[in-house]
């Protein structure tokens, strides 16, 4: 997890005042470590209609094959897709990087 590109992005967003949540079934809770102290206590949340609809933005940083990206496309108001996983899907809003 220490090499994850997600961590610098999360740190930057937090430093700018964002309240973040994440989803990763392989990392149900951020480990207590000096590397992730800024995320202490953060737990993975389910990807569902309620969580997606409440988010100001959903950022796809890692492409996990188990995720229902059609659900993400249906309920997320803004998607920032760094992996081009949403290409060809029916979407609300997508920003491709």
Three-state helix/strand/coil letters over 47-94: CCHHHHHHCCCEEECCCCCCCCHHHHHHHCCCEEECCCCCCCCCCCCE
Higher pLDDT, 53 or 89: 53
CA-based angle 25:30:84, to the nearest 5? 50
Q: Does 83 share its domain with 97?
A: yes
The residues near 49 (Cβ < 8 Å, ≥ 6 apart) are 71, 75
Looking at residue 50, its pLDDT comes to 98
Higher pLDDT, 87 or 95: 87
DSSP-derived 3-state class of residue 25: coil
Q: Which domain holds residue 54?
A: 47-97
Q: Is 5 a residue whose pLDDT tops 90?
A: no
Containing 96, the helix (H) or strand (E) segment is strand 94-96
The residues near 50 (Cβ < 8 Å, ≥ 6 apart) are none
Higher pLDDT, 28 or 89: 28
Q: Does 75 share its domain with 39?
A: no
Give the pLDDT band (50/70/90) at residue 96.
low
Give the pLDDT band (50/70/90) at residue 92.
low
Q: Does 52 share its domain with 82?
A: yes
Domain count, the chain: 2
> Could you read off the pLDDT of 37-83 as tens digits, one per residue?
888 889 999 999 999 999 999 999 988 999 999 999 999 999 999 99
């Amino acid at each position: 997890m220490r090499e994850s590109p997600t961590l610098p992005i999360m740190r930057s967003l937090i430093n700018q005042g964002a309240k973040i949540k994440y989803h990763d079934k392989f990392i149900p809770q951020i480990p207590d470590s000096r590397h992730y102290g800024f995320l202490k206590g953060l737990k993975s949340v389910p990807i569902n209609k309620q969580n997606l609809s409440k988010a100001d933005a959903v950022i796809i940083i890692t492409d996990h094959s188990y995720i229902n990206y059609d659900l993400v496309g249906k309920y997320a108001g803004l998607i920032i897709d760094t992996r081009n996983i949403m290409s060809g899907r029916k979407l609300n809003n997508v920003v491709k990087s």
